[in-house]
Amino acid sequence: MSGDGTFLTDFATLSGFGATERGGVHREAASEADEAQWIWFGRWLADRGFTVRHDRVGNQFGLLERTPGARYLLVGSHLDSQPRGGRWDGAYGVLAAAHAVHRLGRETHALNLAVVNWFNEEGSRFTPSMFGSAVFTGGLDLAEALDTRDAAGVRVGDRLAAMGRTGTDAPALADVAAYAEIHVEQGRVLENAGTTIGLVEATWAARKYGLRVVGEQSHTGSTVMADRRDALLGAARLVVLARELSDELSAPEAPLHTSVSRMVVEPNSPVTVAREVSMNLDLRSPDEALLAHADAVLHERVPEIERSARVGVEIAGSHGWGVQPFSPAGVQLAREVADELGLSHRRIMTVAGHDSVNLNGHVPTVMLFVPSVDGISHNEGEHTTDADACAGLDLLTGVLRRLAAGGIAGS
Protein backbone atom coordinates (compact mmCIF):
# COMPACT_ATOMS: atom_id res chain seq x y z
CA MET A 1 0.00 0.00 0.00
CA SER A 2 3.05 2.30 0.13
CA GLY A 3 3.14 5.35 -2.08
CA ASP A 4 -0.58 5.96 -1.82
CA GLY A 5 -1.19 8.63 -4.45
CA THR A 6 -4.69 9.35 -3.19
CA PHE A 7 -3.38 10.10 0.29
CA LEU A 8 -0.70 12.47 -1.01
CA THR A 9 -3.19 14.19 -3.32
CA ASP A 10 -5.63 14.66 -0.47
CA PHE A 11 -2.82 15.97 1.73
CA ALA A 12 -1.88 18.51 -0.92
CA THR A 13 -5.52 19.64 -1.04
CA LEU A 14 -5.65 19.91 2.74
CA SER A 15 -2.42 21.93 2.75
CA GLY A 16 -4.12 24.51 0.55
CA PHE A 17 -6.42 25.66 3.35
CA GLY A 18 -4.78 28.70 4.94
CA ALA A 19 -1.64 28.14 2.84
CA THR A 20 1.12 30.72 3.39
CA GLU A 21 3.60 31.98 0.81
CA ARG A 22 6.45 30.16 2.51
CA GLY A 23 4.88 26.71 2.35
CA GLY A 24 3.16 26.59 5.70
CA VAL A 25 -0.43 27.03 6.86
CA HIS A 26 -2.11 29.67 9.00
CA ARG A 27 -5.37 28.25 10.28
CA GLU A 28 -6.01 28.81 13.93
CA ALA A 29 -9.00 27.13 15.53
CA ALA A 30 -12.36 28.24 14.08
CA SER A 31 -10.72 30.72 11.71
CA GLU A 32 -12.09 30.99 8.19
CA ALA A 33 -9.36 28.64 6.93
CA ASP A 34 -10.14 26.14 9.68
CA GLU A 35 -13.83 26.39 8.87
CA ALA A 36 -13.17 25.71 5.18
CA GLN A 37 -11.06 22.62 5.84
CA TRP A 38 -13.54 21.36 8.42
CA ILE A 39 -16.28 21.53 5.77
CA TRP A 40 -14.00 19.84 3.21
CA PHE A 41 -13.08 17.09 5.65
CA GLY A 42 -16.70 16.49 6.62
CA ARG A 43 -17.57 16.03 2.96
CA TRP A 44 -14.60 13.73 2.47
CA LEU A 45 -15.88 11.54 5.29
CA ALA A 46 -19.51 11.58 4.17
CA ASP A 47 -18.56 10.77 0.57
CA ARG A 48 -16.85 7.60 1.81
CA GLY A 49 -19.70 6.36 3.93
CA PHE A 50 -18.68 7.78 7.30
CA THR A 51 -21.42 9.15 9.53
CA VAL A 52 -20.32 12.66 10.56
CA ARG A 53 -21.09 13.77 14.10
CA HIS A 54 -20.03 16.62 16.41
CA ASP A 55 -19.95 17.03 20.14
CA ARG A 56 -20.70 20.24 22.00
CA VAL A 57 -17.14 21.57 21.84
CA GLY A 58 -16.74 21.18 18.08
CA ASN A 59 -14.84 17.88 17.93
CA GLN A 60 -15.62 16.36 14.52
CA PHE A 61 -16.14 12.60 14.30
CA GLY A 62 -16.45 10.26 11.28
CA LEU A 63 -18.04 6.97 12.35
CA LEU A 64 -18.01 3.61 10.58
CA GLU A 65 -20.37 1.39 12.58
CA ARG A 66 -20.11 -2.13 11.25
CA THR A 67 -20.67 -3.98 14.53
CA PRO A 68 -23.81 -2.58 16.17
CA GLY A 69 -23.38 -1.94 19.88
CA ALA A 70 -19.60 -2.39 19.93
CA ARG A 71 -17.38 0.38 21.30
CA TYR A 72 -15.16 2.47 19.05
CA LEU A 73 -11.52 2.35 18.17
CA LEU A 74 -10.96 6.09 17.86
CA VAL A 75 -8.11 7.51 15.77
CA GLY A 76 -7.24 11.06 14.82
CA SER A 77 -5.47 14.28 15.60
CA HIS A 78 -6.26 17.96 14.81
CA LEU A 79 -6.53 20.11 11.69
CA ASP A 80 -5.95 23.52 13.29
CA SER A 81 -2.47 25.06 13.15
CA GLN A 82 -0.29 27.62 14.88
CA PRO A 83 -0.12 31.08 13.26
CA ARG A 84 2.25 30.61 10.30
CA GLY A 85 2.59 26.97 11.31
CA GLY A 86 3.51 23.82 9.42
CA ARG A 87 1.38 21.69 7.11
CA TRP A 88 2.08 18.42 8.92
CA ASP A 89 1.43 19.10 12.59
CA GLY A 90 -1.94 17.47 13.32
CA ALA A 91 -3.24 17.50 9.76
CA TYR A 92 -1.07 14.54 8.83
CA GLY A 93 -2.52 12.52 11.69
CA VAL A 94 -6.14 13.32 10.85
CA LEU A 95 -5.80 12.51 7.17
CA ALA A 96 -3.74 9.35 7.84
CA ALA A 97 -6.42 8.26 10.29
CA ALA A 98 -9.18 8.85 7.73
CA HIS A 99 -7.32 6.97 4.98
CA ALA A 100 -6.37 4.10 7.27
CA VAL A 101 -9.93 3.66 8.52
CA HIS A 102 -11.25 3.94 4.96
CA ARG A 103 -8.88 1.13 3.93
CA LEU A 104 -10.18 -1.03 6.78
CA GLY A 105 -13.78 -0.07 6.30
CA ARG A 106 -14.72 -3.05 4.18
CA GLU A 107 -13.62 -5.44 6.91
CA THR A 108 -15.61 -6.34 9.99
CA HIS A 109 -13.89 -5.96 13.37
CA ALA A 110 -14.66 -6.52 17.02
CA LEU A 111 -14.63 -2.75 17.49
CA ASN A 112 -16.30 -0.07 15.39
CA LEU A 113 -14.01 2.50 13.82
CA ALA A 114 -14.13 6.27 14.24
CA VAL A 115 -11.96 9.13 13.00
CA VAL A 116 -11.70 12.36 14.99
CA ASN A 117 -10.57 15.92 14.21
CA TRP A 118 -10.13 17.43 17.69
CA PHE A 119 -11.08 21.09 18.06
CA ASN A 120 -8.31 23.62 18.90
CA GLU A 121 -5.34 21.46 19.75
CA GLU A 122 -2.93 24.37 19.23
CA GLY A 123 -4.29 26.76 21.81
CA SER A 124 -2.80 29.85 20.17
CA ARG A 125 -6.18 31.54 19.65
CA PHE A 126 -8.14 30.01 22.52
CA THR A 127 -6.12 28.71 25.48
CA PRO A 128 -5.38 26.11 26.74
CA SER A 129 -3.98 23.82 24.07
CA MET A 130 -5.40 20.31 23.52
CA PHE A 131 -8.74 21.99 24.18
CA GLY A 132 -11.28 19.74 22.47
CA SER A 133 -9.75 16.49 23.69
CA ALA A 134 -9.53 17.95 27.22
CA VAL A 135 -13.28 18.55 27.24
CA PHE A 136 -13.89 15.09 25.77
CA THR A 137 -11.90 13.43 28.56
CA GLY A 138 -13.25 15.64 31.35
CA GLY A 139 -10.08 17.62 32.05
CA LEU A 140 -11.65 20.89 30.93
CA ASP A 141 -15.15 21.93 31.92
CA LEU A 142 -17.47 22.29 28.92
CA ALA A 143 -19.07 25.54 30.09
CA GLU A 144 -15.67 27.07 30.81
CA ALA A 145 -14.43 25.96 27.39
CA LEU A 146 -17.41 27.51 25.60
CA ASP A 147 -16.92 30.76 27.54
CA THR A 148 -13.26 31.05 26.49
CA ARG A 149 -12.55 34.12 24.37
CA ASP A 150 -9.78 35.02 21.95
CA ALA A 151 -7.83 38.29 22.12
CA ALA A 152 -10.53 40.01 20.05
CA GLY A 153 -13.24 38.89 22.47
CA VAL A 154 -14.76 36.17 20.26
CA ARG A 155 -16.36 33.47 22.43
CA VAL A 156 -15.76 29.82 21.53
CA GLY A 157 -19.40 28.86 22.03
CA ASP A 158 -20.66 31.69 19.82
CA ARG A 159 -18.16 30.97 17.07
CA LEU A 160 -18.91 27.22 17.06
CA ALA A 161 -22.65 27.94 16.96
CA ALA A 162 -22.17 30.34 14.04
CA MET A 163 -20.24 27.63 12.17
CA GLY A 164 -22.86 24.99 13.00
CA ARG A 165 -20.02 22.88 14.41
CA THR A 166 -21.74 21.41 17.46
CA GLY A 167 -23.98 18.48 18.18
CA THR A 168 -25.13 16.15 20.93
CA ASP A 169 -25.05 12.74 19.22
CA ALA A 170 -21.30 12.09 19.02
CA PRO A 171 -19.60 9.26 20.88
CA ALA A 172 -18.57 9.94 24.48
CA LEU A 173 -15.48 8.75 26.31
CA ALA A 174 -17.40 5.72 27.59
CA ASP A 175 -18.00 4.65 24.00
CA VAL A 176 -14.27 4.51 23.23
CA ALA A 177 -12.36 1.25 23.71
CA ALA A 178 -8.94 2.47 22.51
CA TYR A 179 -7.29 5.48 20.89
CA ALA A 180 -4.49 5.82 18.35
CA GLU A 181 -2.73 8.83 16.84
CA ILE A 182 0.13 9.35 14.44
CA HIS A 183 2.03 12.65 14.34
CA VAL A 184 5.23 14.17 13.00
CA GLU A 185 7.98 14.03 15.64
CA GLN A 186 8.71 17.79 15.77
CA GLY A 187 12.24 16.95 16.90
CA ARG A 188 15.45 15.44 15.50
CA VAL A 189 15.66 12.08 17.26
CA LEU A 190 14.34 9.91 14.41
CA GLU A 191 16.19 11.85 11.74
CA ASN A 192 19.48 11.73 13.63
CA ALA A 193 19.09 7.98 14.12
CA GLY A 194 17.99 7.37 10.53
CA THR A 195 14.82 5.70 11.80
CA THR A 196 11.40 5.82 10.12
CA ILE A 197 9.04 5.07 13.00
CA GLY A 198 8.94 6.36 16.58
CA LEU A 199 7.12 4.13 19.05
CA VAL A 200 6.10 6.66 21.70
CA GLU A 201 6.50 5.06 25.10
CA ALA A 202 5.96 8.09 27.34
CA THR A 203 5.44 11.84 27.63
CA TRP A 204 8.04 14.15 29.18
CA ALA A 205 7.05 15.64 32.49
CA ALA A 206 6.07 19.32 32.38
CA ARG A 207 5.21 22.24 34.63
CA LYS A 208 3.48 25.20 33.08
CA TYR A 209 3.07 28.48 34.93
CA GLY A 210 0.90 31.48 34.27
CA LEU A 211 2.83 34.45 35.66
CA ARG A 212 1.56 37.91 36.48
CA VAL A 213 4.17 40.59 37.07
CA VAL A 214 2.72 43.63 38.81
CA GLY A 215 4.47 47.00 38.77
CA GLU A 216 3.16 50.54 38.61
CA GLN A 217 2.57 52.92 35.72
CA SER A 218 4.87 55.90 35.53
CA HIS A 219 6.47 58.16 32.96
CA THR A 220 9.32 56.53 31.01
CA GLY A 221 11.14 59.85 30.90
CA SER A 222 10.55 61.93 33.97
CA THR A 223 10.24 59.24 36.65
CA VAL A 224 13.58 58.83 38.38
CA MET A 225 14.95 55.32 37.95
CA ALA A 226 14.87 54.50 41.67
CA ASP A 227 11.13 55.25 41.78
CA ARG A 228 10.19 52.86 38.98
CA ARG A 229 8.31 49.61 39.43
CA ASP A 230 8.75 48.33 35.90
CA ALA A 231 6.68 45.22 35.24
CA LEU A 232 8.36 44.69 31.86
CA LEU A 233 11.80 44.69 33.47
CA GLY A 234 10.61 42.05 35.92
CA ALA A 235 9.12 40.02 33.07
CA ALA A 236 12.34 40.28 31.06
CA ARG A 237 14.36 38.99 34.00
CA LEU A 238 11.98 36.02 34.25
CA VAL A 239 12.54 35.22 30.55
CA VAL A 240 16.29 35.30 31.12
CA LEU A 241 15.90 33.20 34.28
CA ALA A 242 13.97 30.54 32.35
CA ARG A 243 16.85 30.19 29.90
CA GLU A 244 19.39 30.13 32.75
CA LEU A 245 17.55 27.22 34.35
CA SER A 246 18.01 25.18 31.18
CA ASP A 247 21.63 26.25 30.76
CA GLU A 248 22.51 25.43 34.36
CA LEU A 249 20.46 22.34 35.09
CA SER A 250 20.32 20.38 31.83
CA ALA A 251 22.40 17.24 31.58
CA PRO A 252 22.99 15.26 28.37
CA GLU A 253 20.80 12.39 29.56
CA ALA A 254 18.33 14.60 31.43
CA PRO A 255 17.65 17.75 29.42
CA LEU A 256 15.52 20.57 30.74
CA HIS A 257 13.59 22.52 28.11
CA THR A 258 12.37 25.95 29.22
CA SER A 259 10.42 28.65 27.45
CA VAL A 260 8.50 31.87 27.69
CA SER A 261 6.60 32.52 24.48
CA ARG A 262 3.66 34.71 25.36
CA MET A 263 3.64 38.14 26.93
CA VAL A 264 0.88 40.71 27.27
CA VAL A 265 2.13 44.13 28.39
CA GLU A 266 -0.14 46.77 29.97
CA PRO A 267 -0.54 49.53 28.86
CA ASN A 268 2.13 48.83 26.18
CA SER A 269 2.56 52.54 25.52
CA PRO A 270 5.80 54.05 24.21
CA VAL A 271 6.03 56.52 27.10
CA THR A 272 4.54 54.71 30.09
CA VAL A 273 6.40 52.21 32.28
CA ALA A 274 4.41 48.95 32.21
CA ARG A 275 2.11 48.38 35.16
CA GLU A 276 1.55 44.68 34.47
CA VAL A 277 2.78 41.83 32.32
CA SER A 278 1.03 38.48 31.92
CA MET A 279 3.21 35.69 30.59
CA ASN A 280 3.66 31.95 30.46
CA LEU A 281 6.70 29.98 31.60
CA ASP A 282 7.15 26.27 30.83
CA LEU A 283 9.60 23.72 32.18
CA ARG A 284 9.82 20.25 30.59
CA SER A 285 12.07 17.27 31.22
CA PRO A 286 12.04 13.50 30.87
CA ASP A 287 13.44 13.44 34.44
CA GLU A 288 10.84 14.16 37.11
CA ALA A 289 13.43 14.80 39.80
CA LEU A 290 15.22 17.34 37.63
CA LEU A 291 11.91 19.05 36.92
CA ALA A 292 11.13 19.28 40.63
CA HIS A 293 14.60 20.73 41.22
CA ALA A 294 14.10 23.30 38.45
CA ASP A 295 10.75 24.26 39.96
CA ALA A 296 12.46 24.79 43.33
CA VAL A 297 15.25 26.90 41.83
CA LEU A 298 12.68 28.99 39.95
CA HIS A 299 10.83 29.70 43.17
CA GLU A 300 14.10 30.49 44.96
CA ARG A 301 15.14 33.09 42.41
CA VAL A 302 11.87 34.93 41.86
CA PRO A 303 12.19 37.02 45.06
CA GLU A 304 15.47 38.53 43.83
CA ILE A 305 13.70 39.60 40.63
CA GLU A 306 10.86 41.06 42.68
CA ARG A 307 13.38 43.00 44.75
CA SER A 308 15.58 44.29 41.93
CA ALA A 309 12.72 45.34 39.64
CA ARG A 310 10.47 46.43 42.55
CA VAL A 311 7.58 44.33 41.25
CA GLY A 312 5.37 41.56 42.49
CA VAL A 313 5.42 38.20 40.73
CA GLU A 314 2.34 36.06 41.14
CA ILE A 315 2.71 32.47 40.07
CA ALA A 316 -0.86 31.74 39.07
CA GLY A 317 -2.36 28.86 37.17
CA SER A 318 0.51 26.41 37.57
CA HIS A 319 -0.24 22.94 36.30
CA GLY A 320 1.79 20.03 35.13
CA TRP A 321 2.15 16.32 34.77
CA GLY A 322 4.70 13.62 35.42
CA VAL A 323 6.31 11.23 32.97
CA GLN A 324 3.25 9.48 31.55
CA PRO A 325 3.75 6.07 29.94
CA PHE A 326 1.66 5.01 26.99
CA SER A 327 0.31 1.45 26.92
CA PRO A 328 3.34 -0.92 26.85
CA ALA A 329 1.16 -3.46 25.04
CA GLY A 330 0.42 -0.82 22.43
CA VAL A 331 4.12 -0.09 21.94
CA GLN A 332 4.76 -3.82 21.52
CA LEU A 333 1.85 -4.20 19.06
CA ALA A 334 3.07 -1.28 16.95
CA ARG A 335 6.60 -2.64 17.01
CA GLU A 336 5.40 -5.97 15.61
CA VAL A 337 3.52 -4.23 12.80
CA ALA A 338 6.58 -2.12 11.94
CA ASP A 339 8.70 -5.29 11.83
CA GLU A 340 6.19 -6.95 9.51
CA LEU A 341 6.31 -3.93 7.20
CA GLY A 342 10.09 -3.80 7.33
CA LEU A 343 10.09 -0.29 8.80
CA SER A 344 12.94 0.76 11.07
CA HIS A 345 11.72 1.85 14.49
CA ARG A 346 12.83 2.95 17.93
CA ARG A 347 11.25 3.83 21.23
CA ILE A 348 10.93 7.54 21.81
CA MET A 349 9.39 9.99 24.26
CA THR A 350 7.22 12.90 23.22
CA VAL A 351 8.16 16.34 24.51
CA ALA A 352 5.23 18.08 22.88
CA GLY A 353 1.72 17.55 24.16
CA HIS A 354 -0.79 15.84 21.88
CA ASP A 355 -4.47 14.99 22.07
CA SER A 356 -3.29 11.43 22.74
CA VAL A 357 -1.89 12.68 26.07
CA ASN A 358 -5.43 13.57 27.13
CA LEU A 359 -6.81 10.18 26.01
CA ASN A 360 -3.94 8.25 27.59
CA GLY A 361 -4.85 7.14 31.10
CA HIS A 362 -8.54 6.93 30.18
CA VAL A 363 -8.27 4.33 27.42
CA PRO A 364 -5.39 2.25 26.03
CA THR A 365 -3.59 4.65 23.71
CA VAL A 366 -1.04 4.11 20.94
CA MET A 367 1.07 7.08 19.82
CA LEU A 368 3.26 6.90 16.71
CA PHE A 369 5.79 9.30 15.17
CA VAL A 370 7.28 9.78 11.71
CA PRO A 371 10.41 11.95 11.22
CA SER A 372 10.45 15.76 10.91
CA VAL A 373 13.10 17.12 8.54
CA ASP A 374 15.64 19.06 10.66
CA GLY A 375 13.25 18.77 13.61
CA ILE A 376 11.50 21.96 12.48
CA SER A 377 7.97 22.49 13.82
CA HIS A 378 5.53 25.32 14.55
CA ASN A 379 7.19 26.90 11.54
CA GLU A 380 6.24 27.19 7.87
CA GLY A 381 9.33 25.15 7.01
CA GLU A 382 8.05 22.03 8.84
CA HIS A 383 8.42 19.02 6.54
CA THR A 384 8.13 15.25 6.39
CA THR A 385 9.06 13.28 3.26
CA ASP A 386 6.39 11.57 1.17
CA ALA A 387 8.10 8.23 1.80
CA ASP A 388 7.94 8.68 5.57
CA ALA A 389 4.37 9.96 5.43
CA CYS A 390 3.25 6.92 3.42
CA ALA A 391 5.21 4.54 5.65
CA GLY A 392 3.43 6.03 8.63
CA LEU A 393 0.05 5.56 6.96
CA ASP A 394 0.84 1.90 6.29
CA LEU A 395 1.95 1.41 9.88
CA LEU A 396 -1.16 3.10 11.25
CA THR A 397 -3.36 0.92 9.05
CA GLY A 398 -1.72 -2.23 10.39
CA VAL A 399 -1.88 -1.02 13.98
CA LEU A 400 -5.58 -0.15 13.66
CA ARG A 401 -6.36 -3.57 12.19
CA ARG A 402 -4.88 -5.22 15.25
CA LEU A 403 -6.45 -2.78 17.68
CA ALA A 404 -9.86 -3.16 16.06
CA ALA A 405 -9.61 -6.87 16.58
CA GLY A 406 -9.40 -6.13 20.30
CA GLY A 407 -5.58 -6.17 20.51
CA ILE A 408 -5.02 -4.08 23.62
CA ALA A 409 -8.52 -2.81 24.25
CA GLY A 410 -8.76 -4.67 27.50
CA SER A 411 -5.20 -4.08 28.71
Minimum CB distance to a copy of itself, residue 273 (Å)? 6
Total residues at interface with a copy of itself (CB under 8 A):
72
Q: Which is nearer to a copy of itself, 169 or 227 (CB)?
A: 227
Report how far apart, in Å, the C-alpha atoms of 264 and of each of 207, 240, 319 are. 20, 17, 20
128: cis peptide before it, omega within 30°? yes
Pick from 18, 85, 171, 371 the residue near a copy of itself by CB under 8 A.
Answer: 85
| Minimum CB–partner distance for residue 69 and a copy of itself (Å) | 39
Q: Which stretch binds a copy of itself (CB under 8 A): 66-74, 123-131, 318-326, 392-400?
A: 123-131
Which range touches a copy of itself (CB under 8 A), out of 99-107, 154-162, 243-251, 329-337?
243-251
Burial of 102 (0-12, 13-18, 19+ CB in 10 A): buried
d(CA 173, CA 136): 7
48 binds a copy of itself (CB under 8 A): no
Q: Contact 397/96 with Cβ under 8 angstroms?
A: no
Task: Indicate the residue among 174 and 225 with the shorter CB distance to a copy of itself.
Answer: 225
Q: Which stretch binds a copy of itself (CB under 8 A): 63-71, 174-182, 325-333, 369-377?
A: 369-377
Binding to a copy of itself (CB under 8 A) within 129-158 occurs at 129
Of 43 and 243, the one with the shorter C-beta distance to a copy of itself is: 243
Least distance between a copy of itself and beta carbon 126 (Å):
11
Query: What SS3 state is found at 204?
Result: coil
- Beta strands 60-64 and 112-118 are antiparallel
Q: Which is nearer to a copy of itself, 228 or 402 (CB)?
A: 228
Candidates 47-55, 99-107, 116-124, 154-162; binding stretch for a copy of itself (CB under 8 A): 116-124
Chosen residue from 103, 109, 237, 383 binding a copy of itself by CB under 8 A: 237
Report 372-401 residues binding a copy of itself (CB under 8 A): 375-380
Q: Coil, strand, or helix at residue 154?
A: coil
Report 301-360 residues binding a copy of itself (CB under 8 A).
350-353
Least distance in Å: CB of 224 to a copy of itself? Answer: 7
Percent helix, strand and coil across the chain, each to the nearest 5: 35, 25, 35
Q: Which of residues 255-294 bind a copy of itself (CB under 8 A)?
A: 255, 257-275, 280, 282, 284
Nearer of residues 341 and 351 to a copy of itself, judged by Cβ: 351
3-state secondary structure of 312: strand
* DSSP class of 327: P
- Grouping H, G, I as helix, E, B as strand and the rest as coil, residue 191 is helix
- For 346-385, b/e burial (b = at least 16 CB within 10 A) is bebbbbbbbbbbbbbeebbbbbbbbbbeebbbbbbebbbe
**Are the beta carbons of 89 and 377 closer than 8 angstroms?**
yes
User: Using CB under 8 A, which residues numbered 169 to 228 contact a copy of itself?
Assistant: 185-188, 204, 206, 216-225, 227
